[in-house]
Amino acid sequence: MMTKIVLEDKGQDLLWLRVNEGGLVEEAGPFQNEIWKGSYIPIWLVRVGQLLPIHHYPHIIHGFLKYKVKSIKKEQ
């Protein structure tokens, strides 16, 4: 089971992330997949309307993206 997290669109290259049950980003898009794949998102903390918590060592350690979560959907 995957979770698709969609971010608000403010002209950035990253608009969505597909996260597995363990919180690892398996795919990101529409651009920058190679940058964000393998990042960790504490999925239980993600809330619509709030900034996205993310850990992407060594660049982001227990940080947040500057874009709010627009939607969260479970996918098969």
**pLDDT tens per residue, range 12-52:** 999 999 999 999 999 999 999 999 999 999 999 999 999 99
How many Cα atoms are found within 13 Å in the side-chain-facing hemisphere of 5?
33
Average pLDDT in the 44-61 region?
A: 93
Q: Give me the pLDDT at residue 61, please.
A: 87
4 pLDDT tier (thresholds 50, 70, 90): very high
Q: Give me the pLDDT at residue 76, please.
A: 79
57 pLDDT tier (thresholds 50, 70, 90): confident
Q: Give me the pLDDT at residue 10, please.
A: 96
Q: Are 41 and 50 in contact (CB under 8 A)?
A: no
